[in-house]
Structure 1
Amino acid sequence: MRRAVPPHAVPPRATVLRALVLLLLALGAAASLLPFLWMAVAATHDTSELFRSPPPFLPGGRLLHNLAGLQRTVGIGRVLLNSLGTGLVYTAGSSLISAMCGYGLAKYRFRGRGLLLGAVLATMMIPFQVLLVPLFQMMASLGWIDSYQAIVVPFLANSFGVLLMRQAFLDFPDELIESARIDGAGDLRIFYGVVLPCVRPQLGALVIFTFMGQWNSFIWPLLMLNTEDKYTVPVALNTLTGLSRVDYSGLMLGSLLATLPLILLFALFQRQFVAGLLGGAVKG
């Protein structure tokens, strides 16, 4: 007579599916981290060592040497400060303008609001390459060539940020705004003291998107900045690619240093970023 198998000896189907999902997630995470691990390893070797067969898989001992060469070639410390300064100024200004415009489009009733919203949507459909020539002529007429305001001011009004914040403000109850007005609060006090703190998740997501966009911007700073002392990180790293030789170790080290601030930013605003993206997905 065959013995019955105890129920606890057979894994439930849900447990097996959970294990498969976790395995797939682990494989995906490993595949995503592999380029960053190779970048970190390559930053510690000489360029000639990267083309050996097999290539090195463990860190080498030339990190400080490559860092000194990168500082001597492009002034990586100054370049990082340039990108950090322009990124912070742009992020603060663009996030504030986007929040104010989104609040106005969401909570104020005025003639032409739908037309204005349509114009904001239309600007997202225009390729950036189409705007390069007129923007360059505008910056030249203002005398802003080779200046930081040329890479910050033209893009402060971010259509994506306006639409993101408008959607966040649409979910804010109008009753709370009316109650604040009855209590004697003005529009600015209502905006900064009542409404804006309640949309911190969406604002945090906007801060991450905005800073990353400015930090990684390449084409426009390349056109605007002519002085090496004013270069941002992408423009400075581009100078390492010559016609006859490419400093891959320097590129890997520079890319690694350029990635660290973005990782730190995401770590600081991780909760707000996830909550901001999912804020409108689930209704209570």
Structure 2
Amino acid sequence: MATLTLDPPSAPQRRAGKRTPWQVVGRAVLYVVMVAAAAAILVPFVWMVISSLKNNNQIFTVPIQWIPDPLVWNNYLDIWTKANMTTWLRNTLLLSVVITFLQVLTGSFAAYGFSKVRFRGRDVLFLAYVGTIAVPWQAYMIPQFILMSKLNLSNTLWAMIALQAFSAFGVFLMKQYYESIPEELSEAARIDGLSEYGIWRRVVLPLSGPAVASLTLLTFVNVWNDYLGPLIYLRSPEIWTIQIGLKSLVSQYNAEHALIMTGSVLSVLPIALIFLLGQRYFVQGIATTGVKG
């Protein structure tokens, strides 16, 4: 009867599967640094959640009281009665959804033109457009405000939508991802008689799920957390966003710190949920952006 013998691993194979003491120490130090960094990032959020369950006079006690006594669950009920939380959330959600949709639409469409359509001066125009990212918003904040005032859009949600419907960063992100899609697909679609719009809608856009998810997440978070824009353009309380609304809880002589922390927790929950649901697509989109196919 034949017997099966296994050759022992060679010396290079044994060395490849065995870590040196310095590698083990380095990996351990790396894990310690990552855990410390994660803790430093999470501690403010933990403190915010704990503070939302305290009274006002317990929030800034020294030393920090990490376990509230008593637990003030009524803060999550009072925030809806003492503040116009429903209106703030509705306005913030409306702006976030509309602006995110417009930025993904315009960014992906413009990116297709810059990456798949050849025309004279394309690269120069793209560099000039992307170069606007380097210009700080404070440099053209006043001209924008004057323009919105001349158009009678100031103190309306339309001002925020009009100013943020286009994004140079979105065009850059989508273009870099489109570069990874083989040009042969577009050429085959043109031979089959598809227009450039049809190629974008039926070929390129369906293959760009990770990039679209990344741009959607980044835009939604940016609009949701925007404070300075709504502070400038939204003056009426009925069109305030949640960031401006929470600021209104701070008066000249008093501040509802417990309600502010409660509202902050409620404002973070949608962002955390969206990130958890789209994390896989977000990481994939960032990782593959700029990689040629």
The question of a shared fold, defined as TM-score above 0.5 by the shorter chain, is answered with yes
Match of 1:159 in 2: 168
Distance 1:281 1:21 in 2: 28
Q: CA deviation at 1:281?
A: 6.5
The structure-2 alpha-carbon separation of the partners of 1:107 and 1:281, relative to structure 1 and needing over 3 Å to count, comes to closer
SS of structure 2 residue aligned to 1:111: coil
1:181 paired residue among 190, 212, 218: 190
- Which letter maps to 2:278? F
- Tell me, yes or no, if structure 1 residue 241 matches structure 2 residue 241: no
Distance 1:173 1:62 in 2: 58
Q: CA deviation at 1:69?
A: 3.2
Q: CA deviation at 1:43?
A: 0.3
1:92 paired residue among 97, 101, 120: 101
Q: Give RMSD over aligned pairs.
A: 2.1
- Give the number of equivalent residue pairs: 276
Match of 2:119 in 1: 110
- Tell me, yes or no, if structure 1 residue 225 matches structure 2 residue 271: no
Q: CA deviation at 1:57?
A: 0.6
Q: CA deviation at 1:11?
A: 8.3
Distance 1:253 1:169 in 2: 42
Distance 2:43 2:188 in 1: 53
The structure-2 alpha-carbon separation of the partners of 1:51 and 1:103, relative to structure 1 and needing over 3 Å to count, comes to same
Matches within 5 A, 1:34-73: 34-61=43-70, 63-73=72-82
Query: Could you list the per-position Cα deviations for residues 122-163 of structure 1 after superposition, in whole angstroms to 9, with x for gaps in the alignment?
Result: 311221112222111111122112211111111211001111
Q: CA deviation at 1:283?
A: 6.3
SS of structure 2 residue aligned to 1:243: coil
- Tell me, yes or no, if structure 1 residue 264 matches structure 2 residue 252: no
2:212 paired residue among 190, 194, 203: 203
More deviation, 133-142/99-108: 133-142
Query: Could you list the per-position Cα deviations for residues 37-57 of structure 1 after superposition, in whole angstroms to 9, with x for gaps in the alignment?
Result: 100000010110123333321
- Tell me, yes or no, if structure 1 residue 75 matches structure 2 residue 84: yes
Match of 2:159 in 1: 150
More deviation, 156-165/107-116: 107-116
The structure-2 alpha-carbon separation of the partners of 1:60 and 1:272, relative to structure 1 and needing over 3 Å to count, comes to farther
Query: Could you list the per-position Cα deviations for residues 155-205 of structure 1 after superposition, in whole angstroms to 9, with x for gaps in the alignment?
Result: 211001111111111222111111112222232221122111222111111
Distance 1:165 1:157 in 2: 13
- Tell me, yes or no, if structure 1 residue 33 matches structure 2 residue 28: no
- Which letter maps to 1:124? I
Q: CA deviation at 1:282?
A: 5.9
**Normalized against structure 1, the TM-score is what?**
0.90
Distance 2:132 2:61 in 1: 49
Query: Could you list the per-position Cα deviations for residues 85-131 of structure 1 after superposition, in whole angstroms to 9, with x for gaps in the alignment?
Result: 11001001111100000110111111222332132123112211122
Tell me if structure 2 keeps the 8 A contact 1:41–1:60. Answer: no
Match of 1:127 in 2: 136
Distance 1:147 1:49 in 2: 38
Match of 1:255 in 2: 264
Distance 1:229 1:271 in 2: 37
Q: CA deviation at 1:227?
A: 1.7
More deviation, 11-20/271-280: 11-20
**Normalized against structure 2, the TM-score is what?**
0.87
Distance 1:63 1:104 in 2: 55
SS of structure 1 residue aligned to 2:270: helix
1:276 paired residue among 251, 261, 285: 285
